[in-house]
A and B are shown apart, each in its own frame.
Chain A
């Protein structure tokens, strides 16, 4: 018998009141042991979906199974899942130890076992020596660890994380990203986390679900989503990209709005309005006419160069839009100066076609 998915969502819709559809008929399966991200702008329904898995909201229609068991309307205390809340929601009147022990105490676990498991969880998140502190005596990063320990100590079947790193500063956030990933490998629990930060989602997760306006737009591995976005929104939301509007002319050609024909494979019907997505780091910059033979090209004028330390971002004005070209800094003399006529090119296979 194969193990059922950790979370199986089938045809779930969540309405608030009569006119707000927070989650619109989504289907989603999360495998056992996966690090799964739900990504989207605020208000896209990702948090509502997470809260439905936790039992903090109930779906209006649809089925929700955790390891094959229907949990649709079970209250949160009857579900084998735990949540790390956005602002941690640590109990301010309890010490770190009491916070971490809370779930076990409520499950009536024997006292000696509680002590052992709490100590283990506190060690796991490297907070040894802080057992007696109150949450308000700790930094944001430490509170985050307490929240993790408080959830993990219960050995949930699925750990839900609601924007777990949102309140931390950049450096700490990057450290915690790595740590969360390591932690997940160690405990082997399915992690489902919600974020609006695409970079975070790309670095940490095995698979990503991109949502917008309550709809599930695409589910896939980070590289799939980055390289072959399902539609214009996904292409635009994940990483930076140049979206060149056009129309499908044949299975492997798109006619751009300026009349240029560029090779771009798609299986959309001829005549569909699409955009060709050219990632800034996949585009190359040349002096006018200097592009290698056989590549699609666009002519324009270099209007701006931004130095980012590890990259240079060139803004090129075409006569119908502006595009971005990203290059690595080098000691070679630049191919063009500000205001010069330039040509932008890319490898024929390096682009993707997205419908609206």
Chain B
């Protein structure tokens, strides 16, 4: 077999590719790239990086008697306060609810995503639109809709009453919050899972069945490991916003289900303790950041 290949590419345009010329070229390239990205840089610096630094600064301040944050006594006081039982409970409750929300989303979304990925392109597109439809209406409105469904006079209660299970009390409990969160973030689980499963050669499933694996074993040994990037991406996309959720717990949760988002808001607005609110925001962000790093690490390994 003969492969004709130019041994050295530089031979062809050797004369043009002098070091100076190349350097000038690279510089121009970099300048063009910077100009294109400038608006985004400017926007992010002004409205994201700088405010973030301000919040970071406040997390080291102390609260004076009038509820003002003062910088005369700078320290880790606000971070130490996060260890108090009340705040610890809020943190654990939020972590727990975010975890079950993620688990429910995963269990519901996986079979659906597999179904989606194995349909014909036409059916796929229609189903994907259905997944997206909820985004066309307001998030707040959708949460209030759940209040109607789950309420004392809602569909669920009426059904349980009709079959003789008595009145159910879901609204204003953690159950309602999880239902609302699962509903709200399910598409964020479906889309990455679908993308991951769609990339898997379905002949592998057939090969696995042919090699004496049952349906469940095929899922465990072939589908799941190969769709892991999607599982991790979807889990992060659901876990992170669930952890910091504010709207859904406010509307569907009760007084006993204060979560991180609401607690941070109360620190800034009601309790007027900006340093604690700021430090809590930062801890939350650190958790999310580490989750994201985990994702990129594992994504890099699996792809």
A residues apposed to B, CB below 8 Å: 54-56, 75-77, 81-83, 85-87, 89-93, 102-103, 106-107, 150-151, 154
Q: Which residue of chain B has its CB nearest to the CB of A162?
A: B203
CB–CB B213/A77 < 8 A: yes
Residues of B within 8 A of A75 (CB): 209
Quick one: which of B201, B213, B214, B225 contacts A89, CB cutoff 8 A?
B201
The verdict on B222 contacting chain A, using a C-beta distance below 8 Å, is yes
**Given A93-B225, A93-B226, A102-B221: A107 touches B203 (CB 8 Å cut-off):** no
Bound state CA distance, A104 and B117, in angstroms?
29
B211 proximal to A (CB < 8 A): yes
Q: List 7 A-B residue pairs with CB atoms under 8 Å apart, sorted by A's residue number.
A: A56-B206, A77-B214, A89-B207, A92-B204, A106-B211, A106-B217, A150-B211
B212 sits at the interface (CB 8 A): yes
A-B contact count (CB 8 A): 59
Q: A92-B226, A102-B221 are in contact. Are A77 and B209 (CB under 8 A)?
A: yes
Complexed CA–CA distance, A107 and B210 (Å): 11
Candidate in A76, A81, A90, A150 with the most chain B CB atoms within 10 angstroms: A76
Determine how close the nearest CB of chain A comes to the CB of B32; give it in whole angstroms: 36
CB distance from A54 to the nearest CB of B (A): 6
| B208 interfacial contact with A, CB 8 Å | yes
Contact A103 B222 (CB under 8 A): no
Q: In the complex, what residues of B have CB within 8 A of residue A92's CB?
A: 204, 226
Interface residues in chain B, defined as those with a beta carbon under 8 Å from any beta carbon in chain A: 201, 203-204, 206-214, 217, 221-222, 225-226, 302
- A77 and B226 contact, Cβ closer than 8 Å, known pairs A89-B203, A91-B207: no
Which of A87, A89, A91, A106 has a CB less than 8 Å from the CB of B212? A106
List residues of chain A with CB within 8 A of the CB of B214. Answer: 77, 106
Chain B residues with CB under 8 A of A82: 210-211
Give the nearest-CB partner of A78 in chain B: B212
Contacts of B206 in A (CB 8 A): 56, 76, 83, 85, 89
Q: What are the residues of chain B within 8 A of A89 when measuring CB–CB?
A: 201, 203-204, 206-207
Interface of B is mostly: helix
Residue of A with least CB distance to B221: A102
Interchain nearest-CB distance for B200 vs A (Å): 9
A96 to B209, CA, bound (A): 18
Report how far A55 CA is from B207 CA in the complex, Å. 11
A109 to B3, CA, bound (A): 47
From A54, A87, A90, give the contact of B210 (CB < 8 A): A54
| Interfacial chain B residues near A83, Cβ < 8 Å | 206-207, 210
CB distance from A82 to the nearest CB of B (A): 6
Decide: A56 near B221, CB < 8 A? Known: A87-B201, A89-B203, A91-B204.
Answer: no
B221: which A residues are within 8 A, CB to CB?
Answer: 102
Those 9 A-B pairs whose CB atoms lie nearest each other, nearest first: A103-B211, A89-B203, A89-B207, A106-B212, A76-B209, A106-B213, A77-B212, A76-B210, A83-B210
Whole-angstrom distance between the Cβ of B107 and the nearest chain A Cβ: 22
| Cα distance A81–B226 in the bound complex, in angstroms | 25
B221 to chain A, nearest CB (A): 7
Measured in the bound complex, the distance between the Cα atoms of B212 and A92 in whole Å is: 18
